[in-house]
Structure 1
């Protein structure tokens, strides 16, 4: 009796070994794979598992009627699962492919989606993940991204600004000059001032300037506000609303300005210890990995071009080409080790 099941047991063992070996060689051992590269490999493992189950069904000794009923049940289950999930599943895949074709953003970019602002950490076929300024991770389905406006901060630079309201007794020309001075102190270029509102009690000013390096965007915004406070206070400008009321008795000559308005310039310079280093650590790691992978692919493509050049053309300086190929090979090996080390050292987020 046991001998009847021996072929089925052997088949099951072979299927388990094949699936386990495939999973280990395609996914488990390749720690430097991103979410996009893992997906087709995972689908391949799933396909192998389904094929193995079908083969095993034909090896198990049973009547044709029973085998047909089991196959029919599996077909109904698979059809139901695909039918129920196909809408969201397919649309998210199509949305993910569209985002890759359009290339609106990439890992490390600052983006705003609705009221969420942060840096892109991961782009998969089904979802996009961003890291917010609180260091939290927020995941958006790709379908949501193609139906919702997404604001992307350009890597080539952006305009940062801040607003404040001052009384009508303050000369506009002087305020504009001081605001321009504050913006230039924090290394902004192309600075300008706008009057955004003339209210019943105050004038609202907007000071803005071009920030060429967006890596420390949040720090730059904070520094601009700090410098506006310091410059206005140093020049005797009181920043309070005309409707300001204080129950304590002060003379008309009293000014609500800090006694020490000096600021250290070093405090307003972005450095490696800036808040963005902590806020967007995962996004920075993802950006660095993407850059390393891009460089790796460039070196591989370049070596393929040089190899074809050596095969088809004998007029070129073969010694120089071979030297470049060898140099690229060394860099490829170095990049592969760096990527594998960084990927293996990264800990999963909880």
Structure 2
């Protein structure tokens, strides 16, 4: 009996480091869960990196528990080797594209080359960003369609982002050598000024066999109407040149007819500027991008307000603290509702 009791005490003493470590790890994991995932207002995209951190902590905890077990070193090494093989197998059997997309998504979250709602051109794809995920990025095209581009693809391609402060829009056209370039430049600048482009300028971009190629450009500060502005600029160029009795035809057409006998090819009818159209097709084309941008700005505003209220609550008196706490809870509920609505759309 005494030997049995001594054996039990010896086993208990040998297990004591393991039990202490187990209790410590349980407490640490409980605190980490509360700290990382306790905020219910977090969205799925915000929860995911925190869940990855917890997964790494679990793996490290499991290794520490195995190391602390009172077993033979050879058995312990075999258990650790088995854990390593299992982890390696999971990584090996996982798709390499998934891993690369996750890593690319993490890199893009750190560098932040664009924001939700920005106009972006990647290779042949152009549109407004509607959603940034850890695996892919969603864009809404000019046809109102949605396209998903993997993050690894975005990371390997040059990304052209339209600046929110303004972008230069341009129109190219070709005219014959019989028209002096100084006259054309004045007319093209006049056309750009009609559509209220800032700092318009004209470039001669090519001297062809039969024609001169011009480019008229100007700064557009309201980038959300970029597609409409480009169309208006083309119409203004047509009207301005036709009003000055300048025809716009292909070089081959001009080269094949006798200019003295045939009339100029100018569309008949009024060339007066059409009545201003208040409708904006971009509102329909990029509806999801506009909604996503507005929601992201609303979330950022609420997050700033919540952070400010939290700091005010700490420094406020007892009476003020109650009022501030109610306001804080209201803001947190709105923030949680926005995240919940965003997660449902995903």
The two structures have a TM-score, normalised by structure 2, of 0.70
Q: Please give the per-residue CA displacement for 1:144-203, whole angstroms capped at 9, x wherever unaligned.
A: 111111110111111110100000111211111111111111111011000000111101
Structure 1 residue 328, shift from structure 2 partner: 5.6
Partners of 1:43 and 1:84 in 2: how far apart?
A: 19
**Counterparts of 1:287 and 1:303 in 2: how far apart (Å)?**
24
Q: CA 1:34/1:162 → structure 2, altered by over 3 Å: closer, same or farther? A: farther
Identify the residue that residue 332 of structure 1 maps to in structure 2. Answer: 331
Q: CA deviation at 1:240?
A: 1.2
Deviation at 1:108, TM superposition (A): 0.4
Question: Which residue does the alignment assign to 2:274?
Answer: 264
- 1 CA distance for matches of 2:128 and 2:111? 18
The CA distance in 2 between the partners of 1:249 and 1:172, in whole Å, is 22
Q: For 1:334 and 1:170, how far apart are their aligned partners in 2? A: 67
Residues 218/299 of structure 1: CA separation in 2 closer, same or farther (3 Å cut): same
How far 1:252 moved relative to its partner?
Answer: 2.4
> Kindly tell me: are residues 138 and 197 of structure 1, through their superposed partners in 2, closer, same or farther at Cα, counting changes over 3 Å?
same
Distance 1:187 1:241, change over 3 A: same
Q: Post-superposition shift, 1:36?
A: 1.2
Matched, 1:214 2:223: yes
Mapping 1:16-27, distance limit 5 Å = none
8 A Cα contact 2:313 2:325, kept in partner: no
Structure 1 counterpart of 2:211: 202
Shift of 1:143: 1.3
Instruction: Specify the SS of the correspondent of 1:216.
Output: helix
CA distance in 2, matches of 1:323, 1:218: 51
1:109-149 alpha-carbon deviations (Å, 9 max, x no partner) = 01011100011111111111111111121111111111111
CA distance in 2 between partners of 1:250 and 1:193 (Å): 27
2:43–2:339 CA contact under 8 A, matched in 1: no
Gaps of 5+ in 2: 1-36, 57-81
Pairwise CA RMSD: 3.9
Contact 1:292 1:335 in 2 (8 A): no
Indicate yes or no: 2:110 matched with 1:139.
no
Larger radius of gyration: 2
2:177 paired residue number = 168
Q: Distance in 1 between matches of 2:213 and 2:201?
A: 14
Once the two structures are TM-superposed, the CA of residue 101 in structure 1 deviates from its matched residue by 1.3
